[in-house]
Structure 1
């Protein structure tokens, strides 16, 4: 049985500013864990350390027993650690199907030059169809992305990330900018993710967090304040005072 992602003593300093301070964190296969905290708590920095965007000042990051602390972002993607972003990174002038085709080709290192010819590859097209089916995107397959509702665009971005075949998926504010009427698209998609995929959700939308997370980590000023089930976090007096403001009481 693999151990997944294991972080120990992880710290990051930018000059004299400590933004991550001795963090211990576990994300085993199949986990559904949320990372919450006030603005400036260091949530995005933590995600960037895990994905290799930033190098740690100290501490270690291990994946399935191997130390990946010195690996760059591309190498970690190849290992199976992928992250979506707060702002969508889509080819908005292309269709949903074409965006997913590009993502599959990128994973296979086949490149943009094969883009036009790849639409005749049955294996690529079957994978695209499966991704669209998983996230209920098939009705939008031949729609240009820029004409989709924002919540639908976030689903396309998620599908593109899943095309990388990650084993660890970091969702960085998946509901950011999504109207309340479309938030259910995001929660439904998260709930439909493969059971063995480890998922870390960084999100301010507490309704989404309490619906999809099985475990919640509260980060304050670069340190972990507490970790627990949604029920434990909702009833924690410190968390209510510092972050939840009496919500979910």
Structure 2
């Protein structure tokens, strides 16, 4: 199978089971969200998939290959990236300079010339394409430290895309972003390549219902249900557990 295939994934810390027998698929082009109450095991699941934590049992395959023994960096090279965990913005550099870094690293050219505005044509074309994709042109030559928080999250997302992932985990992309800037995150997710497999782990239900085609509900380390936003919104058990009784129609 192309994409991510998780079967029977479990994680135990001593006598505490935080992930239990999870089956999960994320195919090219998917837009899935993972939701659940605090302590449901969402972060543990993403850490198992990205290689931060080893599973107690179960398998993780990517494009048909077992990646269970690969570390985090090896999984990034395979094409699995997680935002806001592998990217660190250099606050004193401009947006353009920040975007040049992962491209040069991916090309095996290191950071020796990252400050030069006359990097090679291929690199600069890629930087320009990311700036255009995320509508960062007005900010391109500003220092990251001078940007609003929502704008910084956009730059982090663009940096992750520079790694050319095929599966992308967005770990709470709207966390800390003022509601007046949430639309920037929504627009950025909508601008992601259509063949990219995307998993969004998020507490902001308005954002989830705007960008996800499928929603997976995790409760106490187990998948409770999965469905379209309409199906999840209509599910009385989910509303009671997590959506606070509110409908998202």
TM range (shorter): over 0.9
Partner of 2:30: 31
Partner of 1:223: 222
RMSD over aligned Cα, in angstroms? 1.4
1:31-180 aligned within 5 A: 31-85=30-84, 89-117=88-116, 119-180=118-179
Partner of 1:233: 232
Matched, 1:22 2:15: no
Aligned length in residues:
248
For structure 2, the residue ranges without an aligned partner over 5 or more in a row are none
1:217-248: CA deviation from partner (whole Å, max 9, x where unpaired): 00001000000000000010110110001122
Structure 1 consecutive aligned stretches of length 4 or more whose deviation exceeds 3 Å: 116-119
| TM-score (normalizing by structure 1) | 0.96
| TM-score (normalizing by structure 2) | 0.96
User: Greater CA deviation, 178-187 or 11-20?
Assistant: 11-20
Matched, 1:181 2:185: no
d(CA) in 2 for partners of 1:27 and 1:208?
A: 19
Deviation at 1:118, TM superposition (A): 7.1
Q: 1:114 to 1:86 in 2, by over 3 A?
A: closer
d(CA) in 2 for partners of 1:179 and 1:243?
A: 22
What secondary structure does 1:216 align onto? strand
d(CA) in 2 for partners of 1:175 and 1:16?
A: 33
What secondary structure does 2:207 align onto? helix
